[in-house]
Amino acid sequence: MISSLERLVEKLPFYECDKQVDAAMIFSETNRMYFSGFKSSDGIILLTRNECYFFVDFRYYEAAFNKVKNMEVVLASDFKSELLKIIKKHNIKNILLECNGLTLAESLKFEKLIESENVSFIKSNILDDIISSIRSIKEKNELENIKVAQEISEKALNELMSILKPGMSEKEIAFNLEFLLRKKGAQSIAFDLIVASGKNSSMPHATPTDKRLEIGDFVTIDMGAVYNGYCSDMTRTVALGKISEKQRSVYNLVLAAQNKAIQSIKSGVLCKKIDKIARNFIYENGYEGCFGHALGHGVGLEIHEGPFLSTRSEDVLKSGMVVTIEPGIYLKNEFGVRIEDMIVVTEQGCQNLTFANKELIVL
Ligand code: GLY
Ligand code: MN
């Protein structure tokens, strides 16, 4: 078994819960990939106390059989009969379900499959929470992949900076950036790239438009690459030509808020405390209500995963977590600024994985 699967088995409440858990079922594409190392659009993992099965259909069977070494790969042409065989073999009565990866329609379908058997599904968030907490702490190879994804992103941003000029449209920049990310080695982009200029930059998740860059604009570029399945995430806001004192002061406030938050990161600190440090600083400096999203989130196989650094989060930072710190100030009909770095939490503090310049750049 690869170590992530061992960590899951260790934490599964096989002997606890109100009902005894005999097995667990994992559906979501990301969690299947995380535990098996195999990417497929379909499939199910069934974990019992002693065995782990990976059901795939004909499309994936040969590839999965060759790649997956920590589970028994089962060709599920007839999923029901394969599932019932394993249920009987291990005398399974209660199966804990991963809920995030399962729609209500699918859950009804599975219930129908086992209706004649003396088996029940436990529908709760227990499994999702356990997996999320395992995934939030990155293993060495995961960290390496995230670092490479970030290096790719920075190379692409560097090259983009040399071509960015007034007259280019936001869509044109986003298109060029995606091309550069792929050219530098990204397997794909981590999310729809955000390029927002001038007044559009007051919308944190603006979609690139035909608006052309003008002198005096801020341009917010939020970008990420995927490498070996792992994402990176970074935002930079740059200025074009001459900008106002207000723009300069807002930029420096966001940067100072980010630095204060980063300096407070270390293992054991509550995520909401870090959010509060950045948020209070922004609010106390005259911009209450202008920072309306969370301070950050974990990054890994998914662009947004645990832990979450928000006002209400109960998550606690732990060594090995990779999180973003992305404060912003958004002024409707004027402009917006966001600066985002990706950070690894350590016992004593943290290590910043983002090296791109974040002093105010005026192109
Ligand atoms: N970088 C996109 C996001 O964090 O939502
Ligand atoms: Mn982000």
DSSP 329-350: EEETTTEEEE-BEEEEE-SSSE
Query: Is the pTM higher than 0.85?
Result: yes
State pLDDT tens for residues 197-251.
Answer: 999 999 999 999 999 999 999 999 999 999 999 999 999 999 999 899 999 999 9
Q: Where are the alpha helices (DSSP H) in the chain?
A: 3-11, 29-36, 58-67, 79-89, 104-113, 126-136, 140-163, 170-183, 245-263, 271-282
CA-based nearest residue to 82, from 73, 94, 69: 73
Per-residue pLDDT, averaged over 135-153, amounts to 97
Cα dist from 260 to 234, 256, 278, 337, whole Å: 18, 6, 7, 17
More confident residue, 297 or 242: 297
Ligand sitting nearest the alpha carbon of 222: 1
Quick one: which atom of ligand 1 is closest to the CA of 235? 1
Q: What is the mean pLDDT of residues 114-128?
A: 87
- Rounded to 10 degrees, the C-alpha dihedral 240/278/289/203 comes to 40
What is the DSSP secondary structure assignment for residue 203, as one 8-state letter? S
The verdict on the CB of residue 305 being under 6 Å from ligand 1 is no
Rounded to the nearest angstrom, the distance between the alpha carbon of 103 and the centre of ligand 1 is: 25
Residue 293's pLDDT is 97
Report the distance separating Cα 202 and Cα 255, nearest Å: 16
Structure token digits, residue 4: 């992530």
Query: What domains, with CATH codes, occur in the chain?
Result: 4-135 (3.40.350.10), 137-352 (3.90.230.10)
User: Helix (H, G, I), strand (E, B), or coil: what is residue 97?
Assistant: strand
The answer to whether 355 touches 333, Cβ cutoff 8 Å, is: no
pLDDT at 18: 59
pLDDT in tens, 73-95: 999 999 989 999 999 999 999 99
Please tell me if the CB atom of residue 341 comes closer than 6 angstroms to any atom of ligand 1.
Answer: no
Mutate to test the pocket of ligand 1, among 153, 157, 191 (most ligand atoms within 8 A of CB): 191
Task: Give the SS3 label for residue 77.
Answer: coil
Q: What is the total residue count of the chain?
A: 363
Residues 25/126, Cβ–Cβ less than 8 Å:
no
Distance 120 CA to ligand 2 centre (A): 39
Cα end-to-end distance, the chain, whole Å: 52
Residue type, 173: I
Ligand 1 lined by 22 (C-beta under 6 Å): no
| pLDDT (tens digit per residue) in 182-191 | 999 999 999 9
